[in-house]
Amino acid sequence: MKYKVEYLNRHNYCKLEENKFFINQLNIKKIILSAIIHLKEVSMAKFFLMGNFTEKAFAGFLKDPGSDRSEAARKCSESVGAEMKSYTYLRGPYDFMVETHGTFEQMAAIKMATEGSGALKNIAICEETPLNEIANHATKVSSGYKVPGQ
């Protein structure tokens, strides 16, 4: 198996070729940091968090009808390294929806902290999925899958 990966900038030179690893100007910290940043960018997914306000939250709205919950949601997202894209109030089974880009762990932390505050409840964490890609994989699975007894 032949591997070829190159990382170049004016401070570092790193080359991996056929299982040989060379580093000039030993600057491993920058190489690792660059790899971590790249992985972080790749692993950011789109999530939709939908939830309900509690009686405690509604009492707060009565005290301060101009309360900006989108700013509170933005701060929650930023505190864990996620990025809030939009915040919308809803009419229906949920009171609000937040679109945020991040990881599932970040979304779970937001849910835990905000529901733990007593102001929110029933937060559903929904992740965007590539349905066509899933369907392509499903056709491969279904072609070889046998129902029990067949």
CA dist 113 and 120 (Å) reads: 9
The model's pLDDT over 61-109, given as tens digits with 9 standing for 90+, comes to 999 999 999 999 999 999 999 999 999 999 999 999 999 999 999 999 9
Residue found by looking up tokens 């229906």 in the block: 92
- CB count within 10 Å of CB 100 equals 25
pLDDT reported for residue 117: 96
Q: What is the pTM of this model?
A: 0.66
Mean pLDDT (whole number) for 7-36: 52
**Pairing of the two strands 120-127 and 83-89:** unpaired
As a whole number of angstroms, the distance between CA 107 and CA 48 comes to 9
Per residue in 99-110, pLDDT (tens digit) is 999 999 999 999
Two structure tokens written together for 107: 């979304």
